[in-house]
Amino acid sequence: MSDLDVIAAIRPEVPFPTSVELDRARQRLADAIVNEMNVKETLESSVPSTAVTAVHPHKRPRWGRVALAGAVAAVAAGLTAVVVVPGNSAPNRPSDSLPVVHLAAVQFLDKAAASALDQTASPPLSSQFVYSETEDPDGTITDTWLSADGSSSGLSHWTAGAASPDAGTSGGNDLGPSCSIAQAEATGCTPIIGYYPDLPTDPNAVLPYLNRVGLVDTANNPSYDSLPGWENNVIGKTVSELMASSYLLPAQQAALFKLMAQTPGFQIVPSMTDAIGRTGVGIEWTFEGDAGAVIFDPTTYAYLGTRTWHGPADFNAPYDGDALVKLAVVSSAGALP
């Protein structure tokens, strides 16, 4: 052996950092990038010296909102309307650039809430169904139909992805018996509905409401305050479930984002890929050794999906999660937008 081998042997063994350990450095680079862009924009929009020069934060395109507003407005007429979640359809394009988000989780969620409030929407008819299409990392597609008011049974259908052990198979089942809000409050069944008309628009009222209708059970859980991250886990998972399967009015969406914003413990991950390889901004939390994240489109703030990591593995480890591909209101269970 050589002296270089011996020198190599005293090299301090340092593991590669986790994504969380790189967050601070990533944030500082993001700040530097945005700072340069702001300075450039100021110089390019120079005005006569007698006027006040305003420095505008770098603006991001708002193309996604026009399509969204137009689509949901059609719901009032009883027509089917399709909301296609923006994002690229080609997974795993590591050479794509990553939009830099230098905002803390609170600021990002506040902006997501403001973006939601820019939308216009009308609630679905009680006879209609909320349809959603989600995709797992192994390519499994799940189609779900939930009765808007819970008066009818819902339906789900799955097609196993190519990477799934069940590749080549499909199946489905009725989501019943039905359980409306009234039934949930009366009998304790878990609501199976696509639209929550009374979901509060006040973020402080959201958790009490969800407890009342049985979607969460924090009110009666004595360990609610004792386990670090418990509240983040409940809120993060509930927001994911509602965003992925429910028709939410803009103010209801905003309330969910504001609830996350005002809950300590959520952290921003400026770039995160969802289950089908789309790049977005992650709002993550940890609980009892697991980690979860809600992923948003960094430009339009649209909900992209959720991810869960089990155990202390870093974010390159295999994970669960699903991506929201499509959300729409349709006339009957089984109908496609």
Partner 1 sequence: MPDPHGDSADDAAAIEMSWAEPPQFAVLFDRHAPHIYRYIARRVGHSAVDDLVAEVFVAAFASRHRYDLAYRDARPWLYGIATNIIGSHRRDELRQFRIIQAVGPQAPSPGHADQVASDVTARAISGHLATALAGLADGDRDVLVLIAWEELTYEEVARALGIPVGTVRSRLYRARSQLRLVLDESSAAPTIEEVMTHE
CB of 106 to partner 1, least distance (A): 21
The site map against partner 1 for 16-35 (x = CB under 8 A) is: xx---xx-xxx-xxx-xx--
When asked if residue 39 is in the footprint of partner 1 (CB under 8 A), the reply is no
- Distance, in Å, from the CA atom of 320 to the CA atom of 301, rounded to the nearest integer, reads 22
Length of the chain: 337
When asked if residue 312 is in the footprint of partner 1 (CB under 8 A), the reply is no
Find the binding residues for partner 1 in span 127-166 (CB under 8 A): none
Closest to partner 1 by CB, 28 vs 62, is 28
When asked if residue 182 is in the footprint of partner 1 (CB under 8 A), the reply is no
When asked if residue 7 is in the footprint of partner 1 (CB under 8 A), the reply is yes
- Distance, in Å, from the CA atom of 10 to the CA atom of 159, rounded to the nearest integer, reads 53
Stretch that binds partner 1, among 89-97, 118-126, 185-193, 256-264 (CB under 8 A): 89-97
- Distance, in Å, from the CA atom of 59 to the CA atom of 325, rounded to the nearest integer, reads 26
**Tokens 């418990």 — which residue?**
230
236 backbone φψ class: left, alpha, beta (φ>0; ψ -120 to 50):
alpha
When asked if residue 57 is in the footprint of partner 1 (CB under 8 A), the reply is no
When asked if residue 49 is in the footprint of partner 1 (CB under 8 A), the reply is no
Which alpha helices (DSSP H) does 10-104 contain, by range? 23-44, 63-73
Residues contacting partner 1: total by CB under 8 A:
38
- Distance, in Å, from the CA atom of 239 to the CA atom of 181, rounded to the nearest integer, reads 18
Closest to partner 1 by CB, 5 vs 288, is 5
When asked if residue 15 is in the footprint of partner 1 (CB under 8 A), the reply is yes
Closest to partner 1 by CB, 209 vs 315, is 315
- Distance, in Å, from the CA atom of 148 to the CA atom of 328, rounded to the nearest integer, reads 11
When asked if residue 92 is in the footprint of partner 1 (CB under 8 A), the reply is no
65, two tokens: 């909102």
> Reduced to 3 states, what is the DSSP secondary structure of residue 250?
helix
Quote the distance between the C-alpha of residue 193 and its chain's center: 19
Stretch that binds partner 1, among 13-21, 78-86, 188-196, 326-334 (CB under 8 A): 13-21
The site map against partner 1 for 253-282 (x = CB under 8 A) is: -----------------xx-----------
Give whole-number Cα distances, 197 to 103, 143, 255, 308, in Å: 32, 23, 13, 29
CB of 277 to partner 1, least distance (A): 14
Q: What is the largest CA-CA distance in the chain?
A: 80
When asked if residue 90 is in the footprint of partner 1 (CB under 8 A), the reply is no
When asked if residue 99 is in the footprint of partner 1 (CB under 8 A), the reply is yes
CB of 93 to partner 1, least distance (A): 11
Closest to partner 1 by CB, 34 vs 84, is 34
When asked if residue 5 is in the footprint of partner 1 (CB under 8 A), the reply is yes
- What angle is formed at CA 232 by the lines to CA 18 and CA 105, rounded to 5 degrees? 60
CB of 256 to partner 1, least distance (A): 28
**Measuring CA to CA, which residue among 281, 326, 1, 255 is closest to residue 113?**
255
